[in-house]
Amino acid sequence: MAINAARRWAGSLTKLQSGSSSLAGTTIPLRSCPPGITAIMEDSRPWVRLTATVHTLAWDPDRAVGVLKDIASKPGLTRVFAAVVLDEFRAGRLSLDW
């Protein structure tokens, strides 16, 4: 059940990535500042960290894959989402051209 939910999320990821994300009450255009997005891959909030890491796949895939592996090794729902993103990225089904 959680895997199906994660796959649905991964399927709609392009929609999320083409918009903007609200982090700590501040709306930022996603991908507008790669160094800023990359920096928040170390955020203490799992969902913020996951979102930033998915975006970072586009310009620093080696680092992003390492962070996704770390997220996937920790407890919580983000673990499932990180695993699905990794699977989709490795299989070449995760679109990064948004």
- Residue pLDDT, tens place only, 65-86: 999 999 999 999 999 999 999 9
Query: Taking residues 28-37, what's their average pLDDT?
Result: 66
Q: How many CB atoms lie within 10 A of CB 91?
A: 8
Q: Average pLDDT in the 55-63 region?
A: 92
pLDDT interval class at 31 (50, 70, 90): low
Continuous H helices in the chain: 2-11, 13-17, 34-39, 46-56, 61-72, 77-90
Give whole-number Cα distances, 18 to 14, 65, 80, 96, in Å: 6, 21, 22, 10
pLDDT classification of 25: cutoffs 50, 70, 90: very low
pLDDT tops 70 at residue 12: no
Distance CA 74, CA 16 (A): 24
Q: What is the mean pLDDT of the chain?
A: 77
In angstroms, what CA-CA distances link 22 with 4, 19, 90, 91, 93? 25, 10, 28, 29, 26
